Copies of this chain bind each other. A is one copy, B any other.
């Protein structure tokens, strides 16, 4: 369902095929885990909503994620040539077009969320959200994107050399956590979730996001290119302070376990409706080595 919606959103029927559109499509439609849009749909379901209503938000959040991947891989940032097992966007389309494709995906995410406002032809993912709901989603997504960019900026700066574990965790919350939390909250918002439900989704998201980031850092130490679809060992090479480098591999694994358990715990208010979100968190255990 997510794959189809994403493909439809960037199909642009009747519009001439341009390099920009091909570059947007290239990264957005690479096979990925689709973690963030999945969280949006599952959060919507957990709150008793119909997943159809959550599709525009799900697509928008994956577009923001794809934008961040393209820009993070650029030579002036992490300078990566491999992503999701394929050449990165700038390797295929050149730096200028990759930069613009990232910009376009970010901008298009907000177009998708505001789809049925105004009279112009709407993107394919159009659903009928109320203006209030669409606007709250816009704000959630914009604020999370700002957090993510701020986290990336701090990460690039390296905190002037000797960050504390708290600083690193704070940066990782911004860099990875904020968008994951927004993914979940938007799923709740489109179905009119209560403040309590949204708070529970946020808690789950912060914990899952941090577990996910530590796992990612562990895979950079222990994983293979085949497994991760990207270059490994880059953090160590750059002397980047990550959870495994500070606390060691064993401690980091324990922290992931703890965070998964806490994430599942956050889902208690939903009783049986959050089964899929709990399974998703627990499935991260299997990926731990």
Contacts and interface: CB of A to CB of B under 8 A. Distances in A.
Q: Which of A19, A110, A150 has the most chain B CB atoms closer than 10 A to its own CB?
A: A110
A145 interface: yes
B138 A113 contact: yes
B142 A107 contact: yes
Given A19-B157, A132-B131, A139 B111 contact: yes
Contacts of A91: none
Interface stretch (A33-41, A96-104, A217-225): A96-104
Interface stretch (A50-58, A70-78, A230-238, A265-273): A70-78
A55 B135 CA distance: 18
A21 to B, nearest CB: 8
Interface in A11-68: 18-20, 67
A100 B157 contact: no
Q: Which of A95, A99, A130 has the most chain B CB atoms closer than 10 A to its own CB?
A: A99
A190 interface: no
Interface string A137-171: 01111110110011011101100000000000000
Q: Which of A67, A95, A135, A150 has the most chain B CB atoms closer than 10 A to its own CB?
A: A135
Contacts of A74: 76, 99
Contacts of A138: 110, 113-114, 117, 135, 138
A4 interface: no
A239 interface: no
Nearest to A23: B153
Contact of A142 (B18, B108, B131): B108
Interface string A91-128: 00011110110111011101101110110100000000
Given A76-B96, A120-B139, 12 more contacts: A18-B154, A97-B153, A100-B149, A103-B149, A108-B146, A111-B139, A111-B146, A114-B135, A117-B132, A117-B135, A118-B139, A118-B140
14 contacts: A19-B153, A74-B99, A76-B99, A96-B156, A97-B156, A100-B156, A107-B145, A108-B142, A110-B110, A111-B143, A114-B136, A117-B136, A118-B140, A131-B131
Closest 4 CB pairs of A and B: A76-B95, A111-B142, A114-B139, A20-B153
